[in-house]
Amino acid sequence: MSYLSIEFSAIFILFFGVYWSFRSSVAIQNLILLISSYLIVGLFNIHFAMILGSYTVVLYLLSTGIVYSLRPKLWLAISVIAAVGNLAVFKYFNFFAPQLQHQLGEWGIDLSLPVAEIILPIGISFYTFHSMSYLVSIYERAVDQRNTGIPSEKWRGMAPVSFFDFALFLSFFPSIIAGPINRAKLFLPKLQDPTPRSVLEPHRAFMLIILAVIKVYWLSAFFSQAFVKPMFDNPSEYHTIELILAIYAYAIEIYLNFSG
């Protein structure tokens, strides 16, 4: 399911109506956002929603060590290792496992690594980077508060983060599938602000949506299909200069995906 599919359009129209019908209660709107985000992830694969939920629980528990421990830097390191390790397992295990097993065999170590059909969960890169933004933000605030006794002015908009806020920050459906990466200390205060919400500059919002669609579904797809995919799949059929262009095209594709 993509953002341009009929299924997503139907879900979004339903969500839009329900969401704005509770304009007087930001807490209920946030709950609707959280439920909708997990529903959309679950529509891709129910296991993706379960993985996201488990990841959220583990990272939030680890983050409490940063806030309350006397060694916040240690807990930051543990949390980042857990986040990056989780991403690495899902993205690179199947690629590196055979090579690692072969190398261990050359060293005389007979170790049979399990073969796993690991499916990459939707949005895992985005919510991993979101979580690391959160971890760094609360670490900086914890150190700042410990050194000065009170948080400095730059933290005044960011209240203590509840598990509910953290779960919504990671799963927020407009950005979990196609980005962009949100900064915790800018995004979380908006979730926590009790002021009733309204659509600001609707014309600008509409133009941003159109721009995102052009970047992600037109320009990015063009670079992928015209340069990246054919040249990366069969590099021996192309000249060196063409492969260099493909590398630059891949960088442009990544930029368009993240900025869109």
The predicted pLDDT at position 260 comes to: 60
Domain regions of the chain by residue span: 6-198, 201-260
Cα 177 from Cα 124, distance rounded (Å):
9
Q: Per-residue pLDDT for 242 more than 80?
A: yes
State the pLDDT confidence band at 2, using cuts at 50, 70 and 90: low
Torsion on CA atoms 118, 52, 255, 158, rounded to nearest 10: -160
Q: What pLDDT, in 10s, does the model give residues 46-81?
A: 989 999 999 999 999 999 888 887 888 899 999 999
Q: What is the amino acid identity at position 39?
A: L
Cα 194 from Cα 185, distance rounded (Å):
17
Q: Per-residue pLDDT for 152 more than 50?
A: no
Token pair belonging to 145: 């508060």
Cα 57 to its chain centre, rounded Å, is 15
Cα 131 from Cα 182, distance rounded (Å):
10
SS percent in the chain: helix, strand, coil, step 5? 75, 0, 25
Nearest CA to 137 out of 70, 179, 181, 183 is that of: 183
Q: Per-residue pLDDT for 155 more than 50?
A: no
Q: Per-residue pLDDT for 1 more than 70?
A: no
pTM of the predicted structure, to 2 decimals: 0.69
132 half-sphere exposure, CB direction, 13 A CA radius: 16
Q: How far is CA 162 from CA 61, 123, 196, in A?
A: 11, 22, 20
Q: What pLDDT, in 10s, does the model give residues 116-141?
A: 556 777 888 888 989 999 998 888 87
The dihedral through the CA atoms of 136, 138, 139, 145 has a sign that is positive
